[in-house]
A and B are shown apart, each in its own frame.
Chain A
Amino acid sequence: MTGIIDYNAGNIRSVELALRALGAEYRISKDPRDLASADRVIFPGVGEARFAMRELRATGFDSFLRDWAASGKPLLGVCLGSQIVFDHSEENDTPCLGLIPGVVRRFPSDFRERGLKVPHMGWNDVHFKNGGSPLFDGVADGSAFYFVHSYYVEPADPACVTAACEYGITVPCGVRRGNVEAFQFHPEKSAAAGLRLLANFTGAKGGPAC
């Protein structure tokens, strides 16, 4: 069973609907105790880092996530969830969970004069790095995924990067350290390629949507 963490940060419903379409067994909850028996956990999120960290503390999911990461069971962070697993975010100078060493940075200020819009919004080619990840099984290198973000992750160890895209800079968008894996893009909104990735994570066989 896949647990989905609900901490009042954005559109978790789309993650839920994607798992349902794949036929994956899941449980979504605002209470960490409900997810203790899960085999793996998805940590989604859209919004602002400081608000999200406050919600995680209020719900007890901050310590749940630290314990979960230490337990060795699979954890998948998506979008804001992929950023908060790092040590610190420049977004409102926010200390984060520290599950993967590194920081979260704002896109450079020269993007405006270079004609690059922020947020980085839309479909971008994702290229595998350092051998990619088993979660990309069945996904072609260079497949497009849907992004929407104004901050990007910078892992302390570049070997953690499983995938990257180009947007003014090389943007790490897949990161893995042990049992903790993170995607900046939205697999639940990335059509067949994204559903395949979620099927790989959940072990679901996939449905007609995939």
Chain B
Amino acid sequence: MLKKRVIVCLDVKDGRTTKGVRFLDNVDVGDPVEMAAEYYRQGVDELVFYDIMASARDRGPTLDLIRRVAEKVFIPFCVGGGISTVADIRSTILAGAEKISINSPAVRNPLLIEEGAGIFGAQCIVLGMDAKRDPAMPSGYRVFINGGRVATDLDAVAWAAEAERLGAGEIVLNSIDADGTRDGYEIPITRMISERVSIPVVASGGAGTPAHMARVLTEGKADAALIASMVHSGDYTVKSIKEELAKLGVPVRL
């Protein structure tokens, strides 16, 4: 049967991995290439790299980093941040990435999803979405861009459905409220989006324990759980997390 995926996210800033809380106060946690190789050894299913300053500074993707990672890890990995044109998508794929995550540029130009999927295939175009609780929105969640700094008029569930219609092959849903808190994923929005779309949904933001992950993968109906602090802090290894998930009845690749 299809396994639930454990994905480790590396936020990259100026060539180093960083981690913040609710998108702020980032601290340096290591070299992204070495960290990627270590998580690969521990049995991670997939990796995601976000160039967290790229969108705000309008900088292109860090292609050299992608090339060095691709030489060392033989699992899929996704790259996000600063990818705003078809040329950016192409150069990122040619550097060795499997998937491209488009967040703010997709909001500004939704046709980028359609164009990218048409050329490179839906499987390669991932919609990255930062959502924050907002009772004024129909689903109760509003989409933010530019690293959570700028509010949009988009409802999170409606935007997910639109991205699927445009050809996105997967959605990485990050909760701004839960990001870095280690208090658990935002279950309601994850479940709403997973039930609304027929493409895989990756839950992101708030992971603190394997039990949190198990909950979003079952109750939240996510296809994959993204983690960062749990492993960057050294509190867990990918292997220990997967063993715990298996004990909790979640199908994982051991």
Residues of A within 8 A of B (CB): 10-11, 13-14, 17-18, 20-21, 46-48, 111-112, 115, 117-125, 144, 146, 148-150, 166-167, 186, 188-191, 194-195, 209
Are A121 and B200 interface neighbours, CB within 8 A?
Answer: yes
User: Can you show 6 pairs from A to B with CB atoms below 8 A apart?
Assistant: A17-B74, A20-B71, A118-B199, A120-B2, A121-B170, A190-B74
Are B93 and A123 interface neighbours, CB within 8 A?
Answer: no
Residue B59, interface by CB 8 Å: no
Task: Give the residue of B94, B169, B199 whose beta carbon is less than 8 angstroms from that of A13.
Answer: B94
Are A117 and B3 interface neighbours, CB within 8 A?
Answer: no
Q: Which residues of B contact A121 (CB under 8 A)?
A: 123, 169-170, 200, 223
Given A17-B96, A46-B123, A47-B120, the answer on whether A124 and B2 have CB atoms closer than 8 Å is yes
Are B98 and A11 interface neighbours, CB within 8 A?
Answer: yes
Task: Give the residue of A17, A149, A190, A194 whose beta carbon is less than 8 angstroms from that of B71.
Answer: A17
Are A11 and B93 interface neighbours, CB within 8 A?
Answer: yes
Q: Which residues of B contact A119 (CB under 8 A)?
A: 122-123, 169, 199-200
Task: Give the residue of A14, A120, A124 whose beta carbon is less than 8 angstroms from that of B96.
Answer: A14
Task: Give the residue of B1, B74, B199 whose beta carbon is less than 8 angstroms from that of A195.
Answer: B74
* B83-98 vs A, Cβ < 8 Å mask (1 yes, 0 no): 0000000000111111
Are A17 and B122 interface neighbours, CB within 8 A?
Answer: no
Q: Which of B190-217 contact A (CB under 8 A)?
A: 198-200
Are A167 and B74 interface neighbours, CB within 8 A?
Answer: no
Task: Give the residue of A13, A117, A146, A209 whose beta carbon is less than 8 angstroms from that of B76.
Answer: A146
Are A122 and B74 interface neighbours, CB within 8 A?
Answer: no
Count of B residues near A, CB < 8 Å? 34
Q: Which residues of B contact A209 (CB under 8 A)?
A: 72, 74
User: What CA separation (Å) do A46 and B97 show in the bound complex?
Assistant: 13
Are B121 and A47 interface neighbours, CB within 8 A?
Answer: yes
Name which residue of chain B comes closest to A45, CB basis.
Answer: B121
Q: Which residues of B contact A10 (CB under 8 A)?
A: 93, 120-121, 124
User: What CA separation (Å) do A188 and B77 show in the bound complex?
Assistant: 12
User: What CA separation (Å) do A18 and B73 show in the bound complex?
Assistant: 9
The winner among B96, B121, B200, B224 for most chain A CB atoms within 10 A is: B121
Q: Interface majority SS on A: helix, strand, loop or mixed?
A: mixed
Are B45 and A123 interface neighbours, CB within 8 A?
Answer: yes
Q: Tell me the total A-B contact number using a CB cutoff of 8 A.
A: 100
User: What CA separation (Å) do A146 and B200 show in the bound complex?
Assistant: 14
Given contacts A10-B124, A111-B198, A117-B200, 5 further A-B contacts (CB under 8 A): A10-B121, A119-B199, A125-B1, A148-B123, A149-B123
User: What CA separation (Å) do A115 and B120 show in the bound complex?
Assistant: 26
Task: Give the residue of A11, A48, A122 whose beta carbon is less than 8 angstroms from that of B2.
Answer: A122
User: What CA separation (Å) do A48 and B224 show in the bound complex?
Assistant: 25
Are A123 and B198 interface neighbours, CB within 8 A?
Answer: no
Q: Which residues of A contact B123 (CB under 8 A)?
A: 46, 119, 121, 148-150
Min CB gap B213→A, angstroms:
15
Min CB gap A106→B, angstroms:
13
Min CB gap A4→B, angstroms:
14
User: What CA separation (Å) do A124 and B223 show in the bound complex?
Assistant: 13
Name which residue of chain A comes closest to B199, CB basis.
Answer: A117
Q: Which residues of B contact A115 (CB under 8 A)?
A: 221
Name which residue of chain B comes closest to A195, CB basis.
Answer: B74
User: What CA separation (Å) do A194 and B43 show in the bound complex?
Assistant: 13
Residue B241, interface by CB 8 Å: no
Are B121 and A48 interface neighbours, CB within 8 A?
Answer: yes
The winner among B3, B72, B76 for most chain A CB atoms within 10 A is: B76
Min CB gap B92→A, angstroms:
10
Are A124 and B75 interface neighbours, CB within 8 A?
Answer: no
User: What CA separation (Å) do A70 and B151 show in the bound complex?
Assistant: 60
Q: Which residues of A contact B200 (CB under 8 A)?
A: 117, 119, 121-122
